[in-house]
């Protein structure tokens, strides 16, 4: 079970079922439904595929690769911890040297790639609500929850990581991340 659900279950106890129904299950359904608005134009357009479609497909493919690579690297790190091959508290290798949440960047890129597929189809302007809502969910809720948990559980190791990798989403080269971390004194997050 996802740690967020366990935390909710412990916090709300007998009220968990209805709070989770509305805040998690129906809430996520609304966000995912709105994220699919981007497909509205794609599915209804008789227009031939063009350059923007190619860019959208490329972004979607890159997003899949980014999220898969991030998840594989995290799985490898967790396996190393279980097997006592590392004593590091925080993953800081691979894509995780470039961004604190490269997996989230992959997920968001997928939804923006779908939006790009709908742009040349003359989709109504409101379809941008799809990727915008998912982006707001990640930046406003998911990243905050994850980072609060990491700060609580990893302590100084997490704070040091945020100083060396101040970018929560953007893939920034490690030397630039370190330089920005020194400039920001580890007190700010770059999205």
Which residues are CB-contacts of 148 (< 8 A; sequence separation ≥ 6)?
none
When pLDDT is cut at 50, 70 and 90, the band that residue 88 belongs to is very high
pLDDT over 80 (residue 48): no
The average pLDDT across 56-66 equals 97
Per-residue confidence (pLDDT) for residue 42, from 0 to 100: 75
Q: Please, what is the average pLDDT of the chain?
A: 87
Report whether 33 contacts 129 (CB < 8 A).
no
- Check: pTM over 0.95? Answer yes or no: no
When pLDDT is cut at 50, 70 and 90, the band that residue 3 belongs to is low
Report whether 47 contacts 121 (CB < 8 A).
yes
Per-residue confidence (pLDDT) for residue 15, from 0 to 100: 82
Torsion of CA 29, 139, 16, 153, to 10 degrees: 140
In this predicted model, which residue has the larger pLDDT, 7 or 95?
95
Return the exposure string of 32-48: e unless at least 16 CB atoms fall within 10 Å of the residue's CB, then b: eebbebbbbbbeebeee
What tens digit of pLDDT does each residue of 140-161 get? 989 998 999 999 999 999 999 9
Among 16-20, 35-39, 185-189, whose mean pLDDT is lowest?
185-189
Residue 101, phi then psi, degrees to nearest 5: -140, 60
pLDDT over 90 (residue 74): yes
Report whether 107 contacts 67 (CB < 8 A).
yes
Report whether 164 contacts 181 (CB < 8 A).
yes
Which residues are CB-contacts of 185 (< 8 A; sequence separation ≥ 6)?
163
pLDDT over 80 (residue 187): no
């Amino acid at each position: 079970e996802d740690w967020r659900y366990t935390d909710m279950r412990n916090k709300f106890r007998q009220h968990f079922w209805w709070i989770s129904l509305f805040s998690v299950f129906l809430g996520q359904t609304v966000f995912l439904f709105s994220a699919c608005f981007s497909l509205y134009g794609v599915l209804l357009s008789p227009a031939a595929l063009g350059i923007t479609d190619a860019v959208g497909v490329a972004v979607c493919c890159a997003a899949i690769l980014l999220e898969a690579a991030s998840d594989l690297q995290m799985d490898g790190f967790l396996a190393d911890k279980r097997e006592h091959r590392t004593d590091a508290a925080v993953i800081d290798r691979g894509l995780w040297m470039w961004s604190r949440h490269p997996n989230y960047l992959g997920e968001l890129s997928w939804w923006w790639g779908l939006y790009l597929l709908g742009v040349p189809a003359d989709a109504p302007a409101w379809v941008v609500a799809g990727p915008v809502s998912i982006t707001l969910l990640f930046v406003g809720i998911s990243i905050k929850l994850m980072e609060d948990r990491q700060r609580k559980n990893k302590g100084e190791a997490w704070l040091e990581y945020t100083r060396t990798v101040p970018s929560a989403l953007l893939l920034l080269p490690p030397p630039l991340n370190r330089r920005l971390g020194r400039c920001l004194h580890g007190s700010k997050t770059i999205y």
